[in-house]
Amino acid sequence: MTIMIDRDRLFRGMAENRAREVVAHIGFLRNLRQLHEGGVTQTRLAQVNGVSQPAISQMLQRARIEAPDVRPDTHGGTAYEIAARCAAGEIDPATMRAELIGWQYDKPLPPSGYPDVDDVRPTPEGGFNHQVGRALSHGFLTGEDYDLILDALAD
């Protein structure tokens, strides 16, 4: 008996499952942050999750950056999350493109006056390159979607 493997289907499924995993992790971090902000101690969160209190502290630090509250009238707290939700099949590509085009991205840092230093400065967490560029590199956006969003923002 020969089993035929549809590699294209497996690759698509793998990418969709990776996106679901990213979305679930963002949701977990958001819930953790919101519980802590609501008064639940790190010790209690550690007990519930079966990890150490220092591990919860590290997760909360990441959550402040990676898992902000969902913005009104969008499907995510970051542009990256919106792209991941689309890749996971939770929202359609047209909705994703519209939300990423309407997103308010952090502006790049102004030049420092030292040109040799400017190319090694970090990009803003909420900047287009960090959010949408990272979604593209993680396979959550197609090159066509990226170009459409970039062109729309350039207008």
d(CA 129, CA 113): 22
pLDDT digit string (tens) for 79-123? 999 999 999 999 999 999 999 999 999 988 777 777 776 666 677
The dihedrals phi and psi of 124, each to the nearest 5 degrees, come to -60, 140
What is the 3-state secondary structure of 59-72?
Answer: HHHHHHHHCCCCCC
Residue count of the chain: 155
- Locate 47 and state its tokens: 């007990």
**Whole-prediction pTM:** 0.85
User: Which residues have C-beta within 8 Å of that of residue 17, sequence separation ≥ 6?
Assistant: none
Find the helix packing angle between 53-66 and 42-49, rounded to 10°. 100
